[in-house]
C-alpha cells in the first residue's frame, strides 16, 4: 500500500474525485453532441456508430500500455497528460468538421480519456482501505455521475454546429485541472512490472473474467446510450422532442448519482459478486421496458405514463452505474499494486472494446431494422453477459 497518512489519503481522494467528475462533464457532453452534429450532416446511424467507435479504439490502445505508462510517469502526470490531450482535441473538433478528420480526432480523444480514467480509477482504488472500499467507490461514481448528468443538460440547449459545446468542455477541463493540482505532492509511484505487459494483462483477466467482462458489457450499453438514446427517442416521438431525447440521457445520469453510494454501501455488507449480477439483471429489465414506455415522453412529467418512463430510465442509469461501482470495488478487493494497474488496464481495454462494438452494432441495427434496433441489440448484449455471469457464479468452486 502507499505511505500516505490517513489524512493525506482523504485529501488525495477528494481532489481526484472532484477533478475526474468535472472532466466527466466534457465526455458526457461530447458523445450526444457529436452524434447529433453528424446526423445534421446527413450521416446514417451506422456511420455515426463507426465514428463513435474510433473514440473507443483510442481507449483500447492506451489502456493496453497503461501498465508501462503509469509506473513510468506516475499517476499525477498521467492524468495531467490526459487533460492536455483532451483540451487539444476539443479545439480541433469544431475547427475540422469532416467525417474522416473526426475519426482521427476522436481516436486521440479516446486516448486522452483512457489516460485520465485508467490512472484515476487505479489511484483511488490503490489508496483506499478495503473495509470501506465499496462506500468510497460509491462516492467516486456518485460524484462522477453528477458530472455525467451535467453534459446532456448543457447539450440540450447548445447547438451542435457551433463552437459553444466545445468551449464548455474546455472550461470543464480548466476547472478539473485546478482540482487536480493539490495531488501533485501526494503521488504514489509504482514499480515497472517485471513480466511482459501482455502476460500480466492475460493473468489478471483469467483471475477475474466475470468482473472484467462486466466492463465490456458496460461499454456496449454506455457507448450506445450516449450516442443513440436521444436519436432513438426523437425517431419515435418526433424531432420536436429533441430536449426529451437529451432528458433520457440526463435522467439516467442523475439517477446514477443517487444509486451509487447505496450500492457501494451494499458492496461492503453483502457478497459483491451477487450484487454485480443483481445490477446486471435490473439493467436488462429496464432496457426491455424502455421502448414499451417511451411514448410517455409526449406527456407532461407528472402524468402516469411519463412517470413510468422516467422511473425505468432511472433504474437503467442507476443499475448501469452500479455495474461500474461494484466492478471497480471487486478489482480493488482482488488486486494490489502493479497487478491493480493491470486489472484496471484490462477493465479499460474491455470497456473500450464494448464501447467500440456498442455504437457500431446499435447503429447498424438501427439502419437495418429502424429504431427498434436500439433496444433489441442492447437487450441481447446484456442478456449474453448475464447468462455468463450466472453460469460462473453457480459453477465456481
Among the listed residues 172, 133, 134, the one whose alpha carbon sits nearest the alpha carbon of residue 21: 172
For residue 191, the model assigns a pLDDT of 67
Spacing of C-alpha 88 from chain mean position: 21
Residue 192 has pLDDT above 80, yes or no: no
CA distance linking residue 314 with residue 319, whole number of Å:
8
Domains along the sequence of the chain with CATH: 6-395 (1.20.1250.20)
Quick: pLDDT tens for 303-314: 888 899 999 999
Q: Is the pLDDT of residue 1 over 50?
A: no
> How many Cβ atoms from other residues are within 10 Å of residue 131's Cβ?
8
Residue 380: pLDDT above 80?
Answer: yes
Which pLDDT tens digit goes with each residue over 67-110? 888 888 989 999 999 999 999 999 999 999 889 999 999 999 98
State residue 307's pLDDT score: 93
Closest by CA to 344, choosing from 145, 114, 140, 184, is 114
Grouping H, G, I as helix, E, B as strand and the rest as coil, residue 189 is: coil
Question: Would you state the pLDDT for residue 194?
Answer: 59
Quickly count: other Cβ atoms within 10 Å of residue 194's Cβ. Answer: 7
pLDDT score of 397? 47
Give the angle 368-373-379 at the CA atoms, nearest 5°.
145
The confidence band for 286, taking pLDDT boundaries of 50, 70 and 90, is: very high
Residues 176, 147, 77: CA angle, nearest 5 degrees: 30
Report d(CA 377, CA 382) in Å as an integer: 9
Cα 10 from Cα 135, distance rounded (Å): 13
Closest CA to 222 of 244, 249, 241, 259: 249
Look up the pTM and report it: 0.75
Per-residue pLDDT of 7-39, as tens digits, reads 888 888 888 888 888 888 887 788 788 888 998
Q: Report the C-alpha gap between 115 and 222 in whole angstroms.
A: 19
CA distance 149 to 255: 9
Q: Distance (Å, rounded) from C-alpha 296 to C-alpha 287? A: 15
Average pLDDT value over all residues in the chain: 86
Residues 232-257, mean pLDDT to the nearest whole number:
84
Cα 310 to chain center, whole Å?
21
pLDDT at residue 394 greater than cutoff 50? yes
Non-local (6+) Cβ contacts of 189 within 8 A are: 71, 74
Give percent above pLDDT 70 in the chain: 96
Q: Which residue has the cell 418526433?
A: 238
Q: Which three three-digit cell numbers place residue 67?
A: 501498465
**pLDDT(343) > 60:** yes
Higher pLDDT, 387 or 137: 387
Taking the alpha carbons of 149, 134, 394, 211 in that order, is the dihedral positive or negative? positive
Residue 287: pLDDT band (50, 70, 90) is very high
Average pLDDT over residues 377-396: 92
CB count within 10 Å of CB 75 equals 27
- Residue 385 clears pLDDT 90, i.e. is over it: yes
Checking if the pLDDT of 356 tops 70, the result is yes
Nearest-angstrom CA–CA distance, 261 and 266: 9
Segment 330-354 mean pLDDT: 81
* pLDDT score of 90: 93
What is the per-residue pLDDT across 199-242, written as a single tens digit (0 to 9) for each? 667 788 888 889 889 999 998 998 888 778 888 888 888 878 88
Average pLDDT over residues 238-247: 83
Grid cell, residue 289, equals 421496458
Does residue 47 surpass a pLDDT of 60? yes
pLDDT for res 2: 46
* Helix pair 75-95, 6-40: axis angle to 10 deg: 20
Give the residue-averaged pLDDT of 139-153. 80
Q: Is 73 helix (H, G, I), strand (E, B) or coil?
A: helix
Whether residue 96 contacts residue 60, with contact meaning beta carbons closer than 8 Å, is answered with no
Task: Residue 370: count other Cβ atoms within 10 Å of its Cβ.
Answer: 13
Kindly tell me if the per-residue pLDDT of 336 is higher than 60. yes
Nearest-angstrom CA–CA distance, 176 and 27 = 13
Amino acid at each position: 500500500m502507499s505511505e500516505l497518512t490517513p489524512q493525506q489519503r482523504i485529501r488525495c481522494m477528494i481532489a481526484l474525485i472532484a477533478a475526474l467528475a468535472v472532466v466527466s462533464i466534457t465526455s458526457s457532453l461530447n458523445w450526444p453532441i457529436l452524434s447529433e452534429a453528424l446526423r445534421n450532416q446527413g450521416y446514417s446511424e451506422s456511420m455515426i456508430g463507426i465514428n463513435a467507435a474510433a473514440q473507443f479504439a483510442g481507449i483500447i490502445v492506451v489502456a493496453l500500455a497503461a501498465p508501462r505508462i503509469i509506473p513510468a510517469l506516475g499517476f499525477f502526470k498521467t492524468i495531467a497528460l490526459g487533460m492536455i490531450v483532451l483540451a487539444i482535441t476539443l479545439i480541433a473538433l469544431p475547427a475540422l468538421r469532416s467525417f474522416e478528420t473526426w475519426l482521427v480526432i476522436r481516436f486521440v480523444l479516446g486516448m486522452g480519456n483512457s489516460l485520465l480514467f485508467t490512472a484515476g480509477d487505479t489511484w483511488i482504488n490503490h489508496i483506499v482501505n478495503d473495509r470501506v472500499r465499496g462506500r468510497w467507490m460509491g462516492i467516486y461514481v456518485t460524484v462522477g455521475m453528477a458530472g455525467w448528468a451535467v453534459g446532456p443538460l448543457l447539450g440540450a440547449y447548445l447547438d451542435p454546429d457551433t463552437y459553444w459545446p466545445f468551449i464548455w468542455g474546455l472550461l470543464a477541463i480548466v476547472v478539473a485541472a485546478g482540482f487536480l493540482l493539490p495531488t501533485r505532492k501526494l503521488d504514489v509511484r509504482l514499480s515497472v512490472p517485471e513480466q511482459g505487459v501482455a502476460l500480466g494483462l492475460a493473468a489478471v483477466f483469467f483471475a477475474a473474467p466475470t468482473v472484467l467482462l462486466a466492463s465490456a458489457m458496460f461499454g456496449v450499453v454506455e457507448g450506445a446510450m450516449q450516442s443513440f438514446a436521444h436519436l432513438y427517442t426523437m425517431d419515435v416521438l418526433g424531432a420536436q422532442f429533441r430536449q426529451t431525447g437529451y432528458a433520457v440521457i440526463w435522467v439516467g445520469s442523475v439517477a446514477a448519482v443517487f444509486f451509487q453510494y447505496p450500492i457501494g454501501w451494499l458492496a461492503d455488507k453483502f457478497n459483491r459478486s451477487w450484487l454485480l449480477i443483481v445490477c446486471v439483471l435490473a439493467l436488462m429489465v429496464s432496457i426491455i421496458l424502455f421502448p414499451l414506455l417511451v411514448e410517455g415522453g409526449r406527456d407532461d412529467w407528472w402524468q402516469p405514463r411519463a412517470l413510468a418512463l422516467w422511473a425505468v430510465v432511472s433504474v437503467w442509469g442507476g443499475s448501469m452505474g452500479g455495474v461500474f461501482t461494484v466492478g471497480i470495488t471487486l478489482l480493488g478487493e482482488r488486486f494490489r499494486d502493479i497487478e491493480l494497474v493491470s486489472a484496471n488496464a484490462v477493465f479499460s481495454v474491455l470497456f473500450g472494446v464494448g464501447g467500440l462494438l456498442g455504437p457500431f452494432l446499435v447503429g447498424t441495427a438501427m439502419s437495418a431494422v429502424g429504431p427498434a434496433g436500439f433496444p433489441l441489440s442492447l437487450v441481447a448484449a446484456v442478456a449474453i453477459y448475464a447468462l455468463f455471469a450466472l453460469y460462473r457464479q453457480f459453477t465456481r468452486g
